[in-house]
Amino acid sequence: MSGAPTMGDDTVLAAGCVLWRRSPHSDEGIEICLVHRPKYDDWSFPKGKLKRGEYALAGAVREVLEETGHQCVPGARLPTAYYIANGRPKQVSYWAAEATTGSFAPNEEVDRILWLPPAAARDLLTQDRDKELVSALLNALHLTREGL
């Protein structure tokens, strides 16, 4: 994603997933999971800060489980987001991930989730940088389905 700030020792490292599941109710055949964070009153993808020494992919899968209650199978790497949050540079690594088992229970960080067709998910996302990840997911899944 555009505008990568200079990453230094004060960079906040985070990771997340664009969580999806198969659905006959969507033209694309999938639905995407969005999380609502009451602290920010926003809609985004499950993501969070990495623990010290934690690999980004492990952190992404952990955050999906913590925020959505779903296990997932990670797939293609998606674009990394770079932005400033609370005056510090932040780097968020993303993966496509297919939801498997689990169920959502509201918690302090996330009070609601929604499963939406890609176009509706793109429209509801609060940050423009997240909207780009919907297209990246669809491109990754198309390539996967074509066997490329």
Report percent pLDDT > 70 for the chain.
Answer: 91
Contact between 100 and 108 (Cβ < 8 Å): no
pTM of the model: 0.90
**Tokens (6 digits) for 15:** 């990771």
- Per-residue pLDDT at 5 exceeds 70: no
First to last CA, the chain: 23
Residue 3's pLDDT is 42
Cβ neighbours around 125 below 10 Å, total: 21
Whether residue 39 lies inside any domain: the answer is yes
83: β partners: 90
99: β partners: 72
Residue 25's pLDDT is 83
Q: Domain with 133 in it: what CATH number?
A: 3.90.79.10
Residue with tokens 């968020």: 92
Mean pLDDT of 81-101: 96
Whether residue 99 lies inside any domain: the answer is yes
**Tokens (6 digits) for 83:** 């932005």
Residue 108 DSSP code? S
Owning domain of residue 37 = 12-145
Confidence of residue 145 (pLDDT cuts 50, 70, 90): low
Contact between 90 and 48 (Cβ < 8 Å): no
> What's the total number of domains in the chain?
1
Mean pLDDT of 19-25: 93
- Per-residue pLDDT at 4 exceeds 60: no
Residue 28's pLDDT is 87
